[in-house]
Amino acid sequence: MMINLIRAAATESPAEVRFISPFGPMRMLATEKGISALEFIDRGATPSDLRGIPRPARRAIDLICGHPVSQEPINLLLNCSDFQFSVLAALLRIPRGQTATYSQVAAAIGHPSAVRAAASAIARNPIALLIPCHRVVPATGGTGNYRWGPDLKRALLRAEQFRTLPEHSAPESDS
């Protein structure tokens, strides 16, 4: 399944969708135009009724839960700076099952000396899993930081190595 990154500010109120992923409960904000947020939430959260949710949300849930039924691209709507957009687009080019360092990401976007700025942009990733910030690790070793904890980051990396998380391709667009 393809992921499209689109520079866009929200023009309509998104639906909030809560669901259980293979790695725990998640919260998504989505409209018919695309997804603007995806994050892990507390284990006690109640899942949403998934009937009538926006189509991009349904496709994303199917992809995350390992049973994509559509080849239609999923649009990710990002309201961010040009720099953060380029960093997040670079994350989509890290192959599943592999990792990159913060300095490799900075170099990949043509700013090799902007390692800290790239790390900050990665830390502000608004769309977990679909924009794979968990694939970025420190050059000194280990898994590094992750907003939802190092144990979850290690579990995500392990799952990708064993191909239990679905693969997606990611052409970037800037509409």
Q: Is 133 a catalytic residue?
A: yes
Range 53-69 burial, b when 16+ CB lie within 10 A, else e: bbebbbbbbbbbeeebe
What is the DSSP code (8-state) at residue 28?
E
Angle between helices 115-123 and 82-91 (to 10 degrees): 80
3-state secondary structure of 163: coil
DSSP characters over 50-62: -TT--HHHHHHHH
> Amino acid identity of 31?
T
Nearest-Å Rg of the Cα atoms of the chain is 15
**Residue 51 structure tokens:** 């009937």
Catalytic residue among 61, 106, 133, 137: 133
Residues with catalytic function: 133
